[in-house]
């Protein structure tokens, strides 16, 4: 049986008296696109932040290639952390940096990369995402869709092995949404990274993801292949897909 790249076992998290995650069990396999769906406020972003280490679970375990992070040898731990990338829901671009510097930041802060290589990598991503010509502009001077693409370029510039997307299409028009989805799919096929996408775009996300997990009230209600979701008899799942409140 394949060992999941990342596995969450009974992960719980509370903020004060508010229990956000109530025992999450989820497996993420190498090279797949996993979509996490669910109503707003069910803890999808919090779950994503646990995977990348921005939040620490109250209880439960997060296994990396079958081992807890703290048990990995220092080298392996560091290289795993460098393999991850995160695209924030609101982009989290730096207002005081121009677009070039925003995209280049993860490389510039790492002295291993010579400046010429950084420039090449940044311009390659900018070209792929249609951002050429914006390098000297500031985030506030760009449209919402372009800022999204800048955030995507920044997330991909380090050639990560795994990218976590927190609602990458929020606030985009249907055409841009489709573009972002196909871009993720295309790059995932091209670079072979593992992708976890938190999304509300039903049913579009089913065309992008290979597996779906549904989070509801702090627990995973469904986890499986996208074809299984349509055959599923889960009441909550079906209602959510149909956009009904239960």
Chain residues binding other proteins by CB under 8 A are 49, 52-54, 81-82, 84-86, 88, 90, 92-96, 105-106, 109-111, 158
Report the 10 Å Cβ neighbour count for 239.
12
Distance in angstroms between the alpha carbons of the first and the last residue of the chain: 37
Widest CA span in the chain? 55
Give the list of residues 6+ apart from residue 51 with CB closer than 8 angstroms, or none: 6, 8, 28, 62, 84, 164, 196
Torsion angles phi and psi, residue 164, rounded to 5: -105, 120
84-87 and 67-68 strand pairing: unpaired
Nearer to other proteins, 166 or 240 (CB): 166
How far apart are the C-alpha atoms of 163 and 140, rounded to whole Å?
25
Closest distance between other proteins and the C-beta of residue 229, in Å? 29
Closest distance between other proteins and the C-beta of residue 136, in Å? 17
Which 3 state secondary structure label does DSSP give 143?
Answer: coil
Closest distance between other proteins and the C-beta of residue 57, in Å? 17
Closest distance between other proteins and the C-beta of residue 1, in Å? 30
Nearer to other proteins, 52 or 72 (CB): 52
Nearer to other proteins, 86 or 240 (CB): 86
Nearer to other proteins, 52 or 219 (CB): 52
Tell how many helices (H) and how many strands (E) occur in the chain: 9, 10
Nearer to other proteins, 109 or 231 (CB): 109
Closest distance between other proteins and the C-beta of residue 164, in Å? 8
């Amino acid at each position: 049986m394949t060992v999941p790249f990342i596995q969450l076992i009974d992960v719980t998290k509370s903020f004060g008296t508010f229990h956000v995650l109530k025992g999450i069990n989820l497996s993420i396999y190498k090279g797949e696109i996993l979509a996490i769906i669910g109503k707003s406020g069910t803890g999808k972003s919090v779950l994503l932040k646990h995977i990348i280490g921005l939040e620490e679970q109250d209880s439960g375990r997060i296994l990396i290639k079958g081992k807890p992070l703290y048990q990995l040898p220092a080298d392996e731990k560091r290289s795993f952390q460098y393999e991850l990338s995160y695209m924030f829901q609101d982009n989290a671009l730096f207002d005081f940096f121009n677009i070039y510097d925003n995209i280049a930041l993860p490389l510039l802060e790492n002295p291993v990369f010579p400046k010429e290589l950084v420039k090449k990598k940044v311009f390659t991503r900018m070209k792929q995402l249609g951002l050429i010509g914006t390098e000297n502009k500031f985030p506030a001077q760009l449209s919402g869709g372009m800022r999204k693409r800048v955030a995507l370029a920044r997330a991909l510039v380090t050639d990560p092995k795994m990218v976590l997307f927190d609602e990458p299409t929020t606030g985009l028009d249907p055409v841009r949404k489709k573009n972002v989805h196909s871009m993720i799919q295309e790059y995932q096929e091209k670079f072979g990274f593992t992708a976890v996408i938190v999304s509300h775009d039903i049913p579009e996300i089913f065309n992008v993801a290979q597996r779906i997990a549904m989070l509801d009230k702090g627990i995973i209600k469904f986890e499986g292949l996208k074809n299984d979701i349509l055959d599923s008899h889960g009441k909550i799942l079906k209602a959510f897909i149909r956009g009904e409140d239960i």
